[in-house]
Structure 1
């Protein structure tokens, strides 16, 4: 009897990657003695300072959550009241992939703008602020953008600066969903602050970049987010044993390890992307960081799926997503390309 192998998750998602040894070592090192719970320990305080330093934001508050979805919910709910409006792109994780969590917890309305692979133009915001003061309309309060976008695109520093500045001129706050902010900073070869512009609040991804669990919330203008700590507690993301989240962030931020890990993931995606093009496949959007989007026929996708767990973001479209992580190897990339090369060519 022939047994079909279990498909590899090598390119399924950076969420499928293992934890980096430095994160594991940090957990073991933190697992000693009794310390104050709920983030009142010295390690959490030191790690919060490290996050502030990484983003050159000395006056910011720093919170930690167990998941990226929770981090986004905390950040956005802390900014809005139920009659207010959260603006985002049509591909935003907060509206496509978080099961309505932001809307349910905040009570606010989410409004989408058509995007170019998740990228928006500043002028698109203008039409949404005309209803200010009209009791019949949700009141625009905050705009959420993603860096890198859900289609793997990276906002260039000048583009994100212009967008954030324009939003501020319109009286809007700005949230950056930074689940892959390390990948963006590494791809752009700029500081993390340059990768988020003058955003008011940033969710900083850890899970996708080598941690077992955990994302951070950098509240750069605390005066606009007075409720974030209460939201964090209400939705169950103020861990009593906070040090185990903090320890991982501390390890990754030290000596810019998180940026080196992200740069490696980006390099593997670049190698994979170039190989796919060399084989005659069409990329559905440019490869800016660690995600590759390529159009494959149903037959090729079906055959490849016997070897790899791969996502089709829109099931009715031909685009297939490959994600590279800190742990992706040259051998894995080349093996995937060899598998594709051995399949019957598309006509």
Structure 2
């Protein structure tokens, strides 16, 4: 008779392998990170509100709480580096510089969206911003990100592919096939595991035999490290190290970002598998935006100046919501565009 699985362990914040004090950011860099993380936070809050009003349908996975991961890593990239991720992707799009109006319009299924209203939350792309999509199939983006790195090496440029996936996707088979090929061919790819500690509704302690996901590349000789994914400074420092290693031709690198989402897995998830006290503790003690806000106050930025930034960001998000609602529904003829026909149909 099968044994009853043990109850999930209380979530304990794993320490970064780095020092307790990550390299400091300049005041200007902190301000930039604050604005970018706040844009993601306010955008996602608005998206959740619009979902509740029935203006957004289908699946909707919010990034609230994880903002430091993508913002910190984007601070370590250069133009030409590529981003590919899974379905919790709105934050990645905004951090890449994609227009909030186009992102929100896509969420609402409107013509003005990045995929003309046909992709929704999980399927937006921007070649201009080197964003190669959110992907709805768990782990499907990992071979794609590896392929982007292969193309970079084939072309002889020094671009790096940042391939994001979660702790749940870390158990998928195609991830390890990708690891093997990336190391075998010394590909410039940084695998970013956003470990928010709950794959859908299951604690990582109950789903993974090895819970230190930074070690998943050991058998392939891929270096990896755990990072405090709630601290934008630590994320950026780790990103600079990993990306520099890739640019130097040393092959793939794994970064496990220890982060946390405040909302459920998706908008339809009440998140009853974890205590409210746990969520509140993370918000109060580790919130990535609040950490930067306090640093800015300590270095002379006034409370009034930060309120003005928040007001400006709320205005941008409100404008995006208005644009989305004013944008028309896609014409029915769009059903026949952007469709790849099978070879047999073309011959």
Q: Which has the higher strand share?
A: 1
TM bin, normalised by shorter chain, reads 0.3 to 0.5
Normalized against structure 1, the TM-score is what? 0.36
Normalized against structure 2, the TM-score is what? 0.36
Q: Which has the higher helix share?
A: 2
